[in-house]
Amino acid sequence: MAAEGSPSLASQFADRTHQQRAAVLGIWVFLATEALFFGTLFASYTIGRVLHPQAFAEASSHTDVVLGSINTALLLTTSLTMSLAGRAGAAGWRRPCVTWLVVSVVLGLAFLGLKGYEYHEDWTKGLLPGLQFDYSGPDVKGATLFFFMYLVMTAVHAVHLSVACGVATVMAVLTARGRFSAEYHTPLEVTGLYWHFVDIVWIFLYPLLYLGGRS
Amino acid sequence: MNGHRDADPAAKAPPARPYWVTWLTLLALQGLSLGSAYLPLGPFNLVINVGIAIAMATLVLVVLMHLDHARPVTRITAVTGFLFLGLLLWLMLADYLTRPG
């Protein structure tokens, strides 16, 4: 165990537990602000849906439910692999921790790849307002609003997932270099919490953007 | 250099089983949400979809994000974020849903 004043213990903390608790509380405060940040997008979506219920139902039946469902399952699986990485990290098992982190990043990148392919599909179908929009229906204004929300919400989520993949990659490298141990693994814990939050955002995006207007 | 520093792995790590069970439950709930979306239930399609999403998010928060054995201050912080989001959505809908024609 490293002594007091080691690189992993900042001077303002009495001990490791103190530092670990502050870091975990800190990420939860950050996640609360993130919930409110995404909340404004969900609020905008809700107002659009209240004002244009028919158009939102009709428009959401044009999103790709197969790709959306595969991506949801992929992301739910990364929540498992990230949890297993955190568990291995907390136990001080270096190699399993790196493996699960790498699996999480690969699945996360697969999600982003599929999402990119889906955007390409949307582009050819003319479903991207401001970029390539060619939609005809009874309420084009309402449908435009839906596809605008679809584009912004999925894009902001993709940015968050990209950040999560980047951070997890750094964590894999640091873990492989032996930076963490059973005594000190707070960065792994914090990374996992952020990753799970990004998954929670998608858990709500999936039914709102892909499952409307199917019945 | 050995990846396994601990001679007895089970002694130090919590069981992995809850994570696997949660993952399978999440996938089952996703399937339920997807399947129910094709049933003609009118406004209840949305109610079921959002209800399932809340259940899934709660599972992630409690089991995978360890709120089940987090310190009280961490739990309060987590709940406060979602509580305020709920308050804002509720008050916003109180306006939009009661506007005359």
Q: Quick check: pTM over 0.95?
A: no
Q: How far from chain centre, in Å, is Cα A176?
A: 24
Please answer yes or no on whether B13 and A29 come within 8 Å at the CB atom.
Answer: no
Which residues 90-109 of A have a C-beta within 8 angstroms of B?
Answer: 90-96, 98
Q: In this predicted structure, what is the pLDDT of residue A113?
A: 98
Q: Range of B32's domain?
A: 1-69
- pLDDT > 50? residue B6: no
The CATH number that applies at residue A105 is 1.20.120.80
Q: In this predicted structure, what is the pLDDT of residue B7?
A: 46
pLDDT band for A131, please (50, 70, 90 cuts). Answer: confident
Q: How many domains does chain A have?
A: 1
CA atoms in the 13 A half-sphere facing the CB of A102? 10
pLDDT band for A2, please (50, 70, 90 cuts). Answer: very low
CB A165 within 8 A of CB A109: yes
**Mean pLDDT confidence for B54-83:** 95
Residue A140 is assigned to a structural domain of this protein: yes
pLDDT in tens, A138-159: 899 999 999 999 999 999 999 9
Residue A52 is assigned to a structural domain of this protein: yes
CA–CA gap between residue A83 and residue B59 (Å, rounded) = 13
Same domain, B6 and B47: yes
Which segment of A122-126, B13-17, B87-91 scores lowest on mean pLDDT? B13-17
The tokens of A207 are what?
């039914």
pLDDT in tens, A49-103: 999 999 999 999 999 999 999 999 999 999 999 999 999 999 999 999 999 999 9
Same domain, B36 and B64: yes
Q: How many domains does chain B have?
A: 2
Same domain, B64 and B83: no
Same domain, B10 and B43: yes
Please, which residues bridge with residue A17 across strands? none
Nearest CB among B3, B16, B96 relative to A95 is that of: B3
CA–CA gap between residue A196 and residue A78 (Å, rounded) = 9
CA dihedral B25, A107, A74, A27 (to 10 degrees): 60
Of A209, A81, A113, which Cα lies nearest the Cα of A153?
A209
Please, which residues bridge with residue B4 across strands? A93
Same domain, B28 and B57: yes
Q: Is A21 on the interface with B (CB under 8 A)?
A: yes
Q: Range of A184's domain?
A: 16-210
pLDDT band for B4, please (50, 70, 90 cuts). Answer: very low
Phi first, then psi: give them for residue B94, nearest 5 degrees.
-60, -30
